Structure 1
Amino acid sequence: MVLTFIGVLANIFTLGKDLFPLVALFLVSFTISSRSVLNEKLTKLLINTRDNSKELTTQLVEKNKAMQRNQDYEIYLATLKERNRIAREIHDNVGHMLTRSILQLGALSVINKDETVGEAINDLSGTLNTAMTSIRSSVHDLHDDSIALKPAVEDCIRPLKDRFAVSCDYDFSERMSRDVKLCFIGVIKEALSNTAKHSDGDSIKIIIREHPALYQLSIADNGSCSEKIDESGMGLANMRERAASLNGNINITSGSKGFRIFLSVPKQNLTERRS
């Protein structure tokens, strides 16, 4: 196109000044045409950039969700491993001792001739059998794949006890769903990690409460923070996504009164998710 333009100009100049109006018109037309082509290219570039940005954002969201699922699974495996260890120790130690005691009482009952002693043996044998049934039930419950929230929270705060005085206040039933427990554990881990990195305080308060319509979690330290919260940080984004996945609300603040998190999860939405 440029070569054509130069060729046309050369021909015009050889023909004389009378064709200058035609030159001006040609220049205007050429400029408009060039801008149209340039605008078209820029529009295509903008569309491609926007599409690529959307695709990258989608990939980032999916990777973040996958990371959260992996974190939840690690929590689940660690909890299940500890529960199985306790169940195995109860079965191998207490269970075996009870079994041996029951067998010894049975043998003693066979050779006993005293009626009064026999009644005592029967009573003791019944008590031991009841204890054995209770132990078996407890071992079975420990092998269940549910998450024990309180021990999991204790595991989260244990590494911080050298630096912080950590207090926990619990008021919830064991009917709390596994999803809520995993959400609370994940938020607590992220919050404690943030406190360990940035807080100049020396105490942390964790409260978990159950209300008729919702569950609540609050975490607060007594440090002071003059820096504004980085809303784009991965840790805060993870907490917000966990809350959103259960249709919950989360409020995160920092300042002279410390770093504070308040999370609420409605029970109604949990019921709908299970149905």
Structure 2
Amino acid sequence: MDKRRTLTESALLLLVSLFVMISQGFAAQQVIYLLTAVFLMGIGFLLPKSVNWILILSTMPLCYWWPDIAYYLPPLLRILSMPTKRFEAATFFVYSATLLLLPLSAYQGIIVMLLAISLYLRQNDRAMTTLGQDFLASTDDHWEKQQQLALQNKQLLDSHETQLALQIAEERNRIARDIHDNVGHLLSRALLQIGALETINQEPVLEEPLAQLKQTVDTGMDHIRLSVHDLHADSLSFAEAFQNLLMIEHLCPVEIQGSLFTDLTDKQHNCLSMVIKEALTNTLKHSQATLLTFHFKTLPAFYRLQIRNNGIITNEQYPPKTGIGLQTIQQRIRLINGQVHIAQTDTHFQLTITIPKEPTK
């Protein structure tokens, strides 16, 4: 509840109660009643809800001993912390019954009215507090859902980018193969035909043009080879691409076990290269590893790659099984019908990746 509002309303009720009491005439003993009421209100404000009932019960015999204390029951009712609305209503009726047994003459009705006002203020305060708590809970829930939506959008975007990268790589490979198979073969045939013409040529005047033509076609063939090399994502073997990835600066020592895969399809080659790069980046950024191990194993029906480091997670905001980097790896492997298993202990962190074998293109 709002403590400032509680204190303000209690103070106003205290002043009204004081005014009602001294309206019958001022006496020095009334100061004692006022100070006693203020003391009881202070205790009631500081005590927890679970023990306020003791204070409520103790005020009734006090009212029979000092009847004028009953004038201050409204502010006391307002400031006491009670667990439920029913408890507040019960206290109101107990205080009202106590007033009827005291010799307060015509002022009993005024005190009961002040008690009713105090009860209304308490229950209004409780309703406002509940509404505020509901608002905060709704705000937190809304913020949490926004964060979840943002994370899902990022994951969707990452998945889309992964698919797009693989599609681009496949299209580049297809174009490279078409150029190699069609244009490259035609130019090779042209070179053979020019060589045949040079062999059977009997005219000296045609020797230089034929040589120039052969040189031009040969230069074009070289350019075609360079273009195909640049386009083809598989222009480097998987072993060469893997060695290039290990040249990351500040990377810990690397141990390679088993034989690197040799019969990967273009899609598998591209995907594994991106996954290994992501794993290297995560190891460098999020662990204190002193050794990184790659275990390659080729089985009859699938390839298995285990990436293991002896480091620990250093970034508390990087949960090992929910990090964006690991989710990206899982999404990429799923795109080639593979599986990713994550294992972590106090001494190591390991990724086990399996992908089915497919006919090479």
How far apart in 2 are the matches of 1:142 and 1:22? 92
Q: Does 1:16 align with 2:107?
A: yes
SS at match of 2:248: helix
How far apart in 1 are the matches of 2:148 and 2:298? 35
* Residue 143 (structure 2) aligned to one of 52, 60, 73: 52
* Residue 238 (structure 1) aligned to one of 313, 323, 328: 328
TM-score by length of 1: 0.56
Give the gaps of 5 or more residues in structure 1: 112-135, 268-275
TM-score by length of 2: 0.46
Structure 2 contact 172–231 (Cα < 8 Å) conserved: no
Structure showing greater radius of gyration is 2
Structure 2 contact 293–308 (Cα < 8 Å) conserved: yes
Query: Aligned pair in 2 of structure 1 residues 84, 162: CA closer, same or farther (>3 Å)?
Result: farther
How far apart in 2 are the matches of 1:92 and 1:247? 36
Query: Aligned pair in 2 of structure 1 residues 208, 166: CA closer, same or farther (>3 Å)?
Result: same
How far apart in 2 are the matches of 1:72 and 1:155? 23
Q: Does 1:157 align with 2:249?
A: no
SS at match of 2:142: helix
The offset of 1:54, in angstroms, is 0.6
The offset of 1:162, in angstroms, is 8.2
Q: Percent identity?
A: 12
Computed over aligned residues only, the root mean square deviation of the Cα atoms, in angstroms, reads: 5.3
The offset of 1:32, in angstroms, is 1.2
Q: Does 1:263 align with 2:324?
A: no
Instruction: Show the counterpart of 2:306.
Output: 218
How far apart in 2 are the matches of 1:190 and 1:4? 62
| 1:83-104 residue CA offsets vs partner (Å, 9 max, x unmatched) | 9889989999998576434422
Instruction: Show the counterpart of 1:190.
Output: 278
Query: Aligned pair in 2 of structure 1 residues 211, 45: CA closer, same or farther (>3 Å)?
Result: farther
Instruction: Show the counterpart of 2:293.
Output: 204
Q: How many residues align structurally?
A: 236
How far apart in 2 are the matches of 1:79 and 1:39? 59
Which residue type is aligned with residue 39 of structure 1?
T
Which residue type is aligned with residue 190 of structure 1?
E
Instruction: Show the counterpart of 2:194.
Output: 103
Instruction: Show the counterpart of 1:37.
Output: 128
Structure 1 contact 164–202 (Cα < 8 Å) conserved: yes
Q: Does 1:66 align with 2:154?
A: no
Structure 2 contact 278–325 (Cα < 8 Å) conserved: yes
Query: Aligned pair in 2 of structure 1 residues 220, 145: CA closer, same or farther (>3 Å)?
Result: closer
SS at match of 1:263: strand
The offset of 1:163, in angstroms, is 5.6
Query: Aligned pair in 2 of structure 1 residues 162, 242: CA closer, same or farther (>3 Å)?
Result: closer
The offset of 1:265, in angstroms, is 5.6
How far apart in 1 are the matches of 2:192 and 2:356? 50
